[in-house]
Structure 1
Amino acid sequence: MMRKLVYYVAASVDGYIADRNGDFSDFPQRPDTLKELFARYPETCPVHVMEALGVAGEARRFDAVIMGRRTHQPALDAGLLLDGGYPHLAQYVVTHEPLPPSSSGYRIDRDPAGFITHLKRQSGKDIWLCGGGNLAAQLLDEIDEIQIKVNPILLGEGIPLIRGSKAPLPLLLVESEQLPGGIVLNTYRSPKA
């Protein structure tokens, strides 16, 4: 069975994953919501807050994460220069800029869609597309599933879920769950998946 690329991301009701400066701190981060989300996918908790949040456990769904440089920047800002926010996963950062050396992170500087096609053919768990909107647009044809944590807030402007998508892409809603804090987790699949 081939691995899936899953865009698992938080967004506002109006479809923004962060404000125009890349800040997502306006999204509610209640402890009961975080507990529910990290119980589902403990591997998606950044390493620098795992202990504080009491998150432990084996990876349930993902063993790799791919993100753009702006999504990776908070890990760099937190001083996680060597291994980023997710050293327990294979980390791929799509950027033309240099990155600090890492034992678990890799820089992808060209053809991210071709890279994902190759990665999906390798054995392993699913691949988490962590963000952002530009990278999601580049990988749109490779995304098999989108899980959106819809936060009960309108941002009005910011970084869209998918920036500059090519054309309408029909999706199938396969599940919608109410989570603590008024968050709704919607799971969509591509008809091709």
Structure 2
Amino acid sequence: MRELTYYAAVTIDGFIAGPDGQFDGFVFEGSHPAAVGEKYVGAVNTAMADAIGLPIDGGPFDTVLMGWNTYAVGLPDHPSPYSHLRQIVFTREHTAPEGADGVDFTDRDPVEVVRALKAESGKGIWLCGGGALAATLRDEIDRLALKRNPVLFGGGIPLFAEGGYAPERWRAPVITPYESGLVLAEYERG
């Protein structure tokens, strides 16, 4: 069965973006981008990968899931941001913009969609964001791969949107620190 991995950058105070959706405070320099990129090949915007010569084939994922706000970060320049992957955007209010070839926009229940995807054959499924979608899919997430950045935002979009409090323990089989201060923390459902 395929696994759903929530792979995202996050601050040490638990935010995936600032109050206005900004993410420019994350650490992009140092030794970690190449090392993390090698482990998670293909988990980068197709145009960016092409522009800087990053490989996109052979990675752990063949499908990427996004909420509308995560998807819209790249608009209007990148209406099909991960064209090398199967792209699914969850939205009830928006329609496909021009040029969004290969992107499936759906208002279906994310849990039902993920369960159907997991039953298919293929590689892993990448939950790219955002926090509201992650909260909806919380019980379906098999792995967390968090690029914990050494910054505080003090507010913004949390890794998981607020919801019912239900403590849950996860195992951390791999923690990899980098000189830049970023820590790749990979967790498995406990």
Mark the CA change 1:53 to 1:37 in structure 2 (over 3 Å): closer, same or farther.
farther
Under a length normalisation based on structure 1, what TM-score does the superposition of the two structures give? 0.91
Gaps of 5+ in 1: none
CA drift at 1:189: 1.1
Deviation larger for 63-72 or 25-34: 25-34
Letter in 2 for 1:50: A
d(CA) in 1 for partners of 2:38, 2:120? 26
- The residue identity in structure 2 corresponding to 1:179 is Y
What TM-score does the superposition give when structure 2 sets the normalisation length? Answer: 0.93
1:73 and 1:146 mapped to 2: Cα distance? 23
Gaps spanning 5+ residues in structure 2: where?
none
CA contact (8 A) 1:65 1:89 kept: yes
Q: Give the distance between the partners of 1:168 and 1:57, measured in 2 at CA.
A: 36
Single out whichever of 143-152 and 55-64 deviates more from structure 2: 55-64
Quick one: which amino acid aligns to residue 85 of structure 2?
A: L
Counterpart secondary structure, 1:44: coil
Report how far residue 4 of structure 1 moved. 0.2
Task: After TM superposition, list the pairs within 5 Å mapping 1:28-67 onto structure 2.
Answer: 28-30=27-29, 32-67=31-66
Is the aligned partner of 1:86 residue 2:79? no
| Correspondences of 1:26-175 after superposition (within 5 Å) | 26-30=25-29, 32-77=31-76, 79-81=77-79, 84-96=80-92, 97-100=94-97, 102-166=100-164, 167-175=166-174
Q: CA contact under 8 A between 1:41 and 1:59: conserved in structure 2? A: no
With 100-109 and 13-22 compared, the bigger mean Cα shift is at 100-109
RMSD across aligned C-alpha pairs, in angstroms? Answer: 1.4
Taking structure 1 as reference, are residues 59 and 22 closer, same or farther at Cα in structure 2, changes over 3 Å only? farther
8 A Cα contact 1:8 1:146, kept in partner: yes
Quick check: 1:14 aligned with 2:10? no
Amino acid at match of 2:131: G
Higher alpha-carbon deviation: 46-55 or 13-22: 46-55
Asked if the contact 2:56–2:84 (Cα under 8 Å) also holds between the matched residues in 1, the reply is no
Q: Stretches of 4+ moved more than 6 A in 1?
A: none
Task: State the identity as a percent.
Answer: 37
